[in-house]
Amino acid sequence: MQERDVALFGAIAGALTTTDLERALEAALREIVHALDLAAGWIWNLDPQTERFYLAAAHELPPYLREPVKMTGDPCWCMESFVDGDFDSKNVDTISCSRLRTGRDEPGAPTLGLQSHASVLLRFGDRRLGIMNLCPPVGRRLSTTDLQLLSAIGAQIGLAIERGRLAEAGANAARSDERARLAREIHDTLAQDLTAIALQLESALRDAALEGPPADRVRTALDCARGSMTRVRASVLSLRADPLEGRSLAAALAALARKTSSETGMRVAFHEHGAPAVAYETEVELYRIAAEALANARVHAGASRIDLELIGTGGGAFALRVRDDGSGFDPAARDADRYGLLGMEERARLAGAVLRIDSTPGGGTSIEVAMAGGVR
């Protein structure tokens, strides 16, 4: 037993070394289920932005729980126990599952007879970060030793979650501070200098009694100064009113994935692989495209899983990909009033990118925004 436990801790530690938190949690969960010979497991994380639960990882879910609507972040018994504080920093409890209970009488045994799970608090110190639920096989209970082991594992996984969140929060704070600093600098220097130039030009027109070509040149310069002032003010407003809320594109997409998963129960996984830095305006267009693609999958596709990827493809090129396992459609025969797709195409053009749609009826949909290297 001790050798098994040591091997499991080592396997989890190896799984949690990746910076991709979603994949790390899935790998760790898989190791736990296999090592303890369990039937299924899943992890609910608490989104720090929305304070709602989202499905962060799952392994061997019974068919009933694979339906997206069954795994939204809506409260269930284990979540209510979490909120009520029934899971303290050392407690691991085995409880009946309210989600499985609603499906146990449906025909075809969609719950595979599973009725309960151990609920493990994922924590870092006194901070409660999520819940790991683990179902033993029908007719078997987890031993006290197993529950103690899972309590320690909960702290191990909680450390990885906290580390990932701190890294994301630090990057977001630095980005937000830099945007605020740029807004102040632009307002206090360039905007004021342009205002002073415009005032001087207006004074020259009024006081020097200029006529003919010299007056025309001064008016042209004044128009240029005023136009520059308008653009500078727009830039300051853009820096202050940030659709990405001070986050990098990757962080904003990760938050969007968590929010969609919490609201719909769809498994929405975000992965980022070496994507280069791009201009802020391009980031906004890509974020809007991803949001529209997720909305389409949510409303039209009936998908259960979506993979959202931001990938560097070499030489400064990159691609944003949104893939779902939904109903799909024929892109060549789409309705002219599919304004969401038209909007995505327009945003891609504004970003200097190319939008590709690959879908077949019953075969899911893949949307890719590809940008060549050197485009910023």
Q: What is the pLDDT of residue 173?
A: 60
Q: 213: which 2 tokens?
A: 């070509």
CA dihedral 176, 179, 180, 183 (to 10 degrees): -170
Q: What is the pLDDT of residue 164?
A: 76
181: which residues sit within 8 A by CB, 6+ positions away? none
Local mean pLDDT, 10-residue blocks, the chain (376 residues)? 80 83 88 92 88 90 86 84 71 78 82 88 85 89 85 86 73 59 66 74 71 76 78 62 71 88 88 80 86 85 88 82 90 68 85 89 91 60
User: What's the 3-state SS for 123-150?
Assistant: EECCEEEEEEEEECCCCCCCCHHHHHHH
Angle between helices 21-35 and 144-185 (to 10 degrees): 180
Q: What is the pLDDT of residue 66?
A: 86
Q: 317: which 2 tokens?
A: 């090129």
For residue 39, the tally of other CB atoms under 10 A from its CB is 19
**What are the φ and ψ backbone dihedral angles of 90, each rounded to 5 degrees?**
-120, 0
**Using an 8 Å Cβ cutoff, are 143 and 82 in contact?**
no
E strand map for 34-126 = 40-46, 53-59, 92-96, 116-124
d(CA 245, CA 247): 6
**What are the φ and ψ backbone dihedral angles of 323, each rounded to 5 degrees?**
-120, 135
Q: What is the pLDDT of residue 313?
A: 77
For residue 338, the tally of other CB atoms under 10 A from its CB is 14
Q: 27: which 2 tokens?
A: 């790998």
Q: What is the pLDDT of residue 375?
A: 41
Q: DSSP secondary structure string, 281-335?
A: HHHHHHHHHHHHHHHHIIIII--SEEEEEEEEEETTEEEEEEEE-S----GGG--
Q: What is the pLDDT of residue 241?
A: 53
d(CA 98, CA 113): 13
Q: Which CA distances in Å does 373 have to 276, 310, 313, 333, 354? A: 9, 14, 9, 32, 13
